[in-house]
Structure 1
Amino acid sequence: MVIPKLNYCCCGCSLRTGSKFIAWYSFISSLIFVSALIATITKFSAFNTTTSLSGPDIVQDSETQLIILIFINILLIITSFILIIGTHKEYCCLMLPWIVIYIIVTVSEIIDLILEVVRMCFNTKDFEGLLAAGVQTYFLLVIYSYYREVKNAAESGDGYLLQD
Structure 2
Amino acid sequence: MNKQEPQGGGGIVSAFSLKSDIAELKVLAEKVESFGFDNDISPKAVFELNLVLDELFTNLVSYGCHLDSHSFDILLKLDGDVLLVKIEDDGKPFNPLDTAEPEIKCDCTERKIGGLGIHFMRKMMDSIEYIWEDGKNKLKLTKKIQ
The TM-score normalised by the length of structure 2 is 0.30
Structure with more contact order per residue of length (Cα contacts < 8 Å, sep ≥ 6): 1
Larger radius of gyration: 1
TM-score norm. by structure 1 comes to 0.28
Structure (1/2) with the larger strand percentage: 2
